[in-house]
């Protein structure tokens, strides 16, 4: 937790649950990415946290934006982003959204199928398009693999076809999966995609851009490689495959920009032991539906701190406050919390700045969407 967040929590004692995000820490994360990969243009993945204060600050830092829908595009424009700095990066778009984005001046679109390419040709004539390749998501705690991307062979055919439809075949993209904890994932993916890039260029399709997606991890319970380690792997692979003829490089970080800039402050509603349960159950006032969607499968394991830290602990299961049986965050991930923890105590989920507010439900069981404070 940053000093600014600690001060805010102490002085304000905001109602829980809430997200508190330090915009200066976010700016420092952005600067660290820039410094590690100075040749890559940063398109912040808006879905990680689409709040106006986040977008405003990133616009002032010169960021570009990866948007998944027309509402995210509108949010970027409202924050002052230029349409040329926005990529419509979802491969699944309504025709009406494509047309509106095109009319607003957005000129860069992702796709991974003939059908989507045809929609783009009709509703965004002349636009720059890039094809998403499916790559392995091994090493990612939150994989994205099966839903997006196509094969190398199909992508080659699609990129050749793009030109004949009046579109500009601009580049290729991939995503190694979110919370990617191995640097080799980028190395392997770049090798695979660079080969197609070179083949197409030699065949006269003038690609200019390699989009390496997001995936850079945030530190939760376990340590992860530093951004410099990812940068070394990426630049090593890029130089190996392109020599000094590097194409324009794009990265689309979401989690690594906002993740460790925010915490969730929550309250214990009940800490109890029932019947023959081997563990105590700790129920918080935030759960799977209040924004902790990434605890599904216990994939993202937040570090949790309490005011009793340092006192004796015991094993716990941790669940949310709703009446839904799926609203359990952790049963198998071996969490231990202080035995003194009791109803009314505050707890803090560290590094919870990404994929939390945007994943909160609208009043399920009457619980309001997660409150947000930007400091």
Ligand X SMILES: *Cc1c(COP(=O)(O)O)cnc(C)c1O
Of residues 147-206, those binding ligand X (CB under 6 A): 175, 178
Q: Which region, judged by CB under 6 A, interacts with ligand X, from 152-160, 190-198, 246-254, 310-318?
A: 246-254
**Which residue's CB is nearer to ligand X, number 6 or number 293?**
293
Residue nearest to ligand X (CB): 214
Among 19, 26, 45, 133, interactor with ligand X by CB under 6 A: 45
Closest distance of CB 311 from ligand X, Å: 35
Q: Is 89 in the site for ligand X (CB under 6 A)?
A: yes
Q: Is 66 in the site for ligand X (CB under 6 A)?
A: yes
**Which residue's CB is nearer to ligand X, number 142 or number 283?**
142
Closest distance of CB 252 from ligand X, Å: 4
Closest distance of CB 215 from ligand X, Å: 4
Q: Is 254 in the site for ligand X (CB under 6 A)?
A: yes
Q: Is 252 in the site for ligand X (CB under 6 A)?
A: yes
Q: Is 48 in the site for ligand X (CB under 6 A)?
A: yes
**Which residue's CB is nearer to ligand X, number 63 or number 256?**
256
Distances in whole angstroms, Cα of residue 185 to Cα of each of 116, 134, 334: 27, 12, 28
Closest distance of CB 91 from ligand X, Å: 8
Residues engaged in binding ligand X (CB under 6 A): 45, 47-48, 66, 89, 175, 178, 213-216, 252-256
């Amino acid at each position: 937790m940053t000093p600014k967040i600690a001060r805010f929590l102490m002085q304000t004692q905001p109602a829980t649950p809430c997200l508190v995000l330090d915009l200066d820490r976010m700016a420092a994360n952005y600067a660290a990415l820039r410094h590690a990969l100075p040749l890559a243009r940063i398109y912040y993945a808006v879905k990680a946290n689409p709040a106006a204060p986040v977008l405003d600050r990133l616009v002032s830092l010169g960021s570009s934006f990866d948007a998944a829908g027309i509402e995210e595009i509108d949010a970027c424009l409202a924050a002052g982003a230029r349409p040329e700095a926005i990529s419509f990066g979802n491969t699944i778009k309504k025709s009406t959204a494509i047309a509106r984005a095109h009319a607003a001046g957005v000129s860069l679109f992702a796709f991974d199928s003939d059908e989507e390419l045809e929609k783009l040709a009709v509703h965004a004539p002349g636009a720059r398009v890039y094809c998403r390749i499916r790559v392995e998501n091994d090493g990612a705690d939150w994989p994205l693999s099966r839903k997006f991307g196509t094969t190398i062979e199909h992508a080659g055919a699609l990129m050749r076809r793009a030109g004949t439809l009046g579109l500009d075949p601009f580049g290729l993209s991939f995503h190694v999966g979110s919370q990617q904890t191995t640097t080799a994932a980028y190395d392997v993916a770049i090798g695979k995609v660079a080969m197609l890039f070179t083949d197409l260029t030699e065949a006269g399709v003038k690609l200019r851009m390699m989009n390496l997606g997001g995936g850079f991890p945030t530190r939760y319970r376990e340590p992860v490689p530093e951004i410099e380690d990812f940068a070394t792997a990426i630049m090593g692979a890029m130089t190996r495959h392109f020599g000094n003829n590097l194409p324009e490089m794009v990265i689309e970080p979401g989690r690594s920009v906002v993740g460790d800039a925010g915490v969730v402050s929550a309250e214990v509603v009940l800490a109890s032991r029932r019947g023959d349960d081997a563990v105590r159950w700790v129920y918080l006032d935030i759960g799977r539906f209040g924004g902790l969607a990434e605890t599904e499968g216990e994939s993202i394991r937040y570090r949790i701190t309490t005011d009793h830290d340092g006192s004796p602990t015991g094993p716990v299961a941790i669940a949310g406050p709703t009446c839904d049986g799926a609203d359990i965050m952790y049963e198998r991930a071996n969490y231990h919390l202080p035995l003194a923890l009791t109803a009314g105590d505050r707890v803090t989920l560290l590094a919870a700045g990404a994929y939390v507010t945007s994943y909160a439900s609208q009043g399920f069981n009457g619980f309001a969407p997660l409150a947000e404070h930007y400091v």
